[in-house]
């Protein structure tokens, strides 16, 4: 079936509008993760599953476009989200961005769901490589300790079931979103 070029362009414009309108909507869930460890596994799978559930998750690789200012876009998404998911992994604490995002999630008092993927909470430490200001190191250490003392999910990628993890994490996100929305409704009364 051949379509006219005008119909193809029109379809492309409508498709673009529907995607950009979704991108501009405040996110329900901010997924904080270390890309090299989890973007193609738990973070990506969780993003896709939450999207299919008609939620609006934020995942940097899916929610940002070329030209976006990193800190501006990410910080705005965190400040406007209702729930944060922190996916901890072996290289998580090596990333300034991961620790900055976690600190902002904690400072803004968002509900957070930790997922400890291939790492135990006791193994997570902020390292001082001499390039990070002392004030940031203190923020990061505080946020990491708060997350380590929050009930979360643990997962071993060698023996665990990915679909169970995604389902359990999604259920936790939904329960927390409902709780946050009920608290907001109660405060408005």
pLDDT above 60 for 118: yes
Q: Topology of domain 24-188, per CATH?
A: Rossmann fold (3.40.50)
pLDDT of residue 144 exceeding 70, the answer is yes
Mean of pLDDT values over 128-156: 93
Catalytic-labelled residue, pool 72, 101, 107, 146: 101
Q: What's the first-to-final CA gap in the chain, in angstroms?
A: 57
Is residue 101 within 8 A of residue 79, CB to CB? The reply is no
The predicted structure's pLDDT at residue 24: 61
Instruction: Count CA atoms within 13 Å of residue 17 on its CB side.
Output: 6
Q: 23 falls in which pLDDT band (50, 70, 90)?
A: very low
Grade residue 91 by pLDDT with cuts at 50, 70 and 90.
very high
Asked if the model's pLDDT at residue 2 lies above 90, the reply is: no
pLDDT at 11: 54
1, pLDDT greater than 60: no
* More confidently predicted of 86 and 37: 86
Spell out the domain ranges in the chain: 24-188
Task: For residue 111, give every residue at least 6 positions away whose Cβ sits within 8 Å of its Cβ, in sequence order, or none.
Answer: 82, 83, 84, 176, 179, 180
Angle subtended by helix axes 70-80 and 96-107, to nearest 10: 30
Can 181 be counted among the known catalytic residues?
Answer: no
Task: Examine the pLDDT at 20 and tell me if it is beyond 50.
Answer: no
C-alpha count within 13 angstroms, C-beta hemisphere, residue 160: 18
pLDDT at residue 17 in the model = 42
Question: pLDDT class for 14, splitting at 50, 70, 90?
Answer: very low
Global confidence as pTM: 0.83
More confident residue, 4 or 88: 88
Average pLDDT over residues 132-144: 95
Encode pLDDT of 148-186 as tens digits. Answer: 999 999 999 999 999 999 999 999 999 999 999 998 888
Q: Which pLDDT score, from 0 to 100, does residue 7 have?
A: 52
Report pLDDT for 21.
43
């Amino acid at each position: 079936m051949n379509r006219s070029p005008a119909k193809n362009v029109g379809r492309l414009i409508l498709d673009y509008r529907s995607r950009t309108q979704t991108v501009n909507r405040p996110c329900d869930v901010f997924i904080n993760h270390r890309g090299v460890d989890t973007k193609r596994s738990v973070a990506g799978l969780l993003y896709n599953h939450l999207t299919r559930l008609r939620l609006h998750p934020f995942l940097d690789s899916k929610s940002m476009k070329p030209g976006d200012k990193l800190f501006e876009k990410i910080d705005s998404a965190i400040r406007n989200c209702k729930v944060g998911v922190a996916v901890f992994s072996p290289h998580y604490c090596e990333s300034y961005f991961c620790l900055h995002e976690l600190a902002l999630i904690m400072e803004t008092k968002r509900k957070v769901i930790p997922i400890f993927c291939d790492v135990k909470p006791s193994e997570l430490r902020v390292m001082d490589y001499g390039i990070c200001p002392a004030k940031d190191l203190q923020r990061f250490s505080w946020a990491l300790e708060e997350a380590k003392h929050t009930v979360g999910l643990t997962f071993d990628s060698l023996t665990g079931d990915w679909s169970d993890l995604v389902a359990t994490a999604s259920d936790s996100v939904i329960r927390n979103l409902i709780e946050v929305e009920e608290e907001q409704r109660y405060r408005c009364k």
